[in-house]
Amino acid sequence: MNLLNRSLLTLKEYTQEEITYLLDLADKVKEERRKKIVHQRFIGMTLAMIFEKRSTRTRCAFETAFGEEGGHAVFLSTDDIQLGAKESIEDTARVLGRMFDAIEFRGYKQETVETLARYAGVPVYNGLTDMYHPTQVLADLMTLREEFGRLKGLKLVYIGDGRNNMAHSLAIGCAKMGIDYVIISPKELFPDQSFVQEMREIAEKSGASITVTSQIEGNIAGADAIYTDVWASMGEESKASERIKLLTPYKVDKKTMEMTQNRNCIFMHCLPAVKGQEVSFDVIEGPASRVWDEAENRKHTIKALMLATLGKA
- pLDDT tens, the chain, 313 aa long: 999 999 999 999 999 999 999 999 999 999 999 999 999 999 999 999 999 999 999 999 999 999 999 999 999 998 888 786 788 999 999 999 999 999 999 999 999 999 999 999 999 999 999 999 999 999 999 999 999 999 999 999 999 999 999 999 999 999 999 999 999 999 999 999 999 999 999 999 999 999 999 999 999 999 999 999 999 876 777 778 889 999 999 999 999 999 999 999 999 999 999 999 999 999 999 999 999 999 999 999 999 999 999 999 9
How high is the pLDDT of residue 23?
Answer: 98
How high is the pLDDT of residue 237?
Answer: 75
How high is the pLDDT of residue 233?
Answer: 76
How high is the pLDDT of residue 83?
Answer: 82
How high is the pLDDT of residue 223?
Answer: 98
How high is the pLDDT of residue 239?
Answer: 79
How high is the pLDDT of residue 213?
Answer: 98
What is the domain class of 11-132+297-309 according to CATH? alpha beta
What is the domain class of 134-294 according to CATH? alpha beta
Catalytic residues: 106, 133, 136, 229, 270, 298
How high is the pLDDT of residue 260?
Answer: 98
What are the sequence ranges of the domains in the chain?
A: 11-132+297-309, 134-294
40 burial level (CB within 10 Å; 0-12, 13-18, 19+):
exposed
**Closest to 227 (Cα-Cα) out of 188, 196, 256, 264:** 256
Do 11-132+297-309 and 134-294 show the same overall fold? yes
How high is the pLDDT of residue 96?
Answer: 97
